[in-house]
Chains A and B, each alone.
Chain A
């Protein structure tokens, strides 16, 4: 059974999501304050766990999130925790967090995530669009 590909279009309160099992890549970009974060993130978390459980290939997660409400932060933490566990077992995983260099808060948020993790976590400045 092949892994389902995730493709969510961005909305005013939820990010664009794209997954590529072939390339071992997951991308999230945009705002994240949906009405029910757990519902929104459930398929994404399931995809990550599924990918990590079946293959041996590396997984790269790229995040370009402009805002996360606290529930989204919680869900994102759960996702990163799963990746951390895989990392500790020797699996190749990595996170790249792009942030708007003019926004200190965005950098703070990224660093707060990185604090709790030992997996490769890059924080990259990226000029915001428009």
Chain B
């Protein structure tokens, strides 16, 4: 299925949306969760503080209740009224003793206001006689006088004489006789154990700390702090809670709240506090009875950690995933697959199979697309078959016209060939010869001729401008003119013939420069020509840019006789150019070659270079022993070899002959 990019894109988009929505949801969720967790933690802290207060004060209240019962006892009232009376005294002491056994620490005291006698009994010794008598002036006894004075019902009094860590609370209940305050009864309650239990028994979720209004730690889970404070006699240097609070802002907050509690402005304070590096939700209560503030510090993450939310998160993620999977699958089925089918069909059409028709089984966008597609395929098929028909027609027309052209070219070739000397003609004059005549395009601009006269014959090899049909026209004209000139002037003076040809051609081709300039101004046509007059014992050579190569009998390398470097018939060709004759001896067995530059320019070989003079020279040198016909074949073969797969560059003409022994 090659809808890779759309499919991938849609999956990626869905994934991106999922991630975006998911992240936002998760963040919102976490934010809400923290809120919930925080609120919950707070409530928990508050409840915990209250509970602690209750737990701490519980025993105290019990003792208070008991002490009040004691104070309310008629026997004790009677005792206060008539302390000296032995009956009342005995009853009173007995009652006291009875109560004493009920008190938590098995101790109680009783003070008769009138006598200021202080009775005390504990587990060791029941009260029988007053321990001592309270003095109004004694500092230590002030508690009694103040209590009696100010307190109407009962009062709790923290014993400050005990060491830190020990919490002893005195319960003082006023004994009333009608409206009169006649005595004080009470007991001491040692809450140390409770306290320790409270502070240290807590679990990880809540920390309990007790401080006095100044913030000095009274109770703390860390024994180290407690020991420090216990040892520190100087109260001002004792460790405070403030020292454990992390920020200045936190300390201020704490101070503010503690003040409020102590002043009684509020009963319960809840706030966030960062203590010893951890953030807590704090809840504080003032236990007025003992003059301490109890703080519960709750670590919200412990109370209701995020871990408990994980299942919900997991479920959310799972449901989202399932949704996406469903959506993807639906998308696939409803959109991508039909598209894939269409793509496949499109490819079939591209491959040339136009007969596709797809099933249209839905009415939605895909269905419309499919219908349109079918319509398009049908149209293409129509056009294509029409087109194929058209192409066939045109091809046929072209083939026919091409054939006509080829036929005419073949005919032209026949005409050109008929103008050239037949092999028989050449053989008559030069029995041992070869001609390699290869026009580039069936007909061409090269030509050769053999024109006899009384004493010998004239060989001519020419290269007219251009090749193909234009070249052929030129070569016909040149050939005709040469024939004419030889008929008129004879072949004795090749250089003269060259001069005359030059003039004739110029006149023929550029009759008055003005006219031809108007007609086809850029044309400049002419010819390169080599003329060789062969007599029984010598040769006369004249060349216009074409050379004569001669290998004397027994010689190794061909001697090069360059012609004059001047062409015939061109605009630039001077009518008065002095072409010269070169006379050469002709011993029997001499081999002579006339050729155009077609072979020299033919590229091939390893580098695509031209055949070159050197190569031709060496080749002829190698072939010099062979009869000319064999030489011709070998040349043709070597040329074909060198040319390889390259196209023929120009018309090729090579004429070679060997002079035989003197005849007649």
Contact = CB atoms under 8 A, between A and B. Distances in A.
Nearest to A81: B606
Nearest to A90: B612
A86 B607 contact: yes
A88 B614 contact: yes
Contacts of A53: 607-608
Contacts of A87: 614
Contacts of A114: none
A118 B618 contact: yes
B607 A49 contact: yes
B605 A89 contact: yes
B607 A89 contact: yes
A118 B618 CA distance: 9
B380 to A, nearest CB: 45
A91 to B, nearest CB: 7
B606 to A, nearest CB: 5
Contacts of A52: 607
Contacts of B610: 89-90
Interface residues of B, number: 12
A85 interface: yes
A77 interface: no
A46 interface: no
A49 B613 contact: no
B20 to A, nearest CB: 52
B99 interface: no
Contact-residue size bin, chain A (C-beta under 8 Å from the other chain): 10 to 19
Interface string B599-617: 0000001111111111100
A49 B607 CA distance: 8
A49 B614 contact: no
Interface in B607-634: 607-615, 618
A52 B609 CA distance: 10
Contacts of B612: 88-90
Contacts, number: 33
Nearest to A56: B609
Contacts of A85: 605-607, 609
Interface in A44-93: 49, 52-53, 82, 85-91
A53 B606 CA distance: 9
Residue of A86, A88, A90 with most partner-chain B CB within 10 A: A88
Interface in B583-611: 605-611
A82 B609 CA distance: 12
A88 B606 contact: no
Nearest to B610: A89
Nearest to B606: A85
Contacts of B609: 85-86, 89-91
Nearest to A54: B607
A130 B4 CA distance: 73
Contacts of A91: 609
B606 A82 contact: yes
B323 to A, nearest CB: 59
Nearest to B603: A89
Residue of B611, B612, B618 with most partner-chain A CB within 10 A: B612
Nearest to B605: A85
Contacts of A118: 614, 618
A56 B638 CA distance: 25
Contact of B615 (A49, A82, A89): A89
B618 A89 contact: no
B234 to A, nearest CB: 91
A86 B610 CA distance: 9
Contacts of B607: 49, 52-53, 85-86, 89
A48 to B, nearest CB: 11
B558 to A, nearest CB: 14
A85 to B, nearest CB: 5
A53 B609 CA distance: 8
Residue of A53, A82, A85 with most partner-chain B CB within 10 A: A85
A26 B611 CA distance: 25
A118 B612 CA distance: 14
A82 B606 CA distance: 8
Interface string A105-130: 00000000000001000000000000
Contacts of B608: 53
Interface in B279-327: none
A33 B539 CA distance: 57
Nearest to B621: A118
Nearest to A82: B606
A18 B606 CA distance: 24
A16 to B, nearest CB: 27
Nearest to B600: A90
Contacts of B614: 87-90, 118
Contacts of A86: 607, 609
A68 to B, nearest CB: 23
Nearest to A52: B607
A8 B523 CA distance: 57
A118 to B, nearest CB: 6
A10 to B, nearest CB: 30
A91 B613 CA distance: 11
A86 B607 CA distance: 7
A80 to B, nearest CB: 13
A31 B595 CA distance: 48
The 5 closest A-B pairs by CB, nearest first: A89-B609, A88-B615, A90-B612, A89-B612, A88-B614
Given A49-B607, A90-B612, 11 more contacts: A49-B606, A53-B608, A85-B606, A85-B609, A86-B607, A87-B614, A89-B605, A89-B607, A89-B615, A91-B609, A118-B614
27 contacts: A49-B606, A49-B607, A52-B607, A53-B607, A53-B608, A82-B606, A85-B606, A85-B607, A85-B609, A86-B607, A86-B609, A87-B614, A88-B612, A88-B614, A88-B615, A88-B618, A89-B605, A89-B607, A89-B610, A89-B612, A89-B614, A89-B615, A90-B609, A90-B613, A90-B614, A91-B609, A118-B618
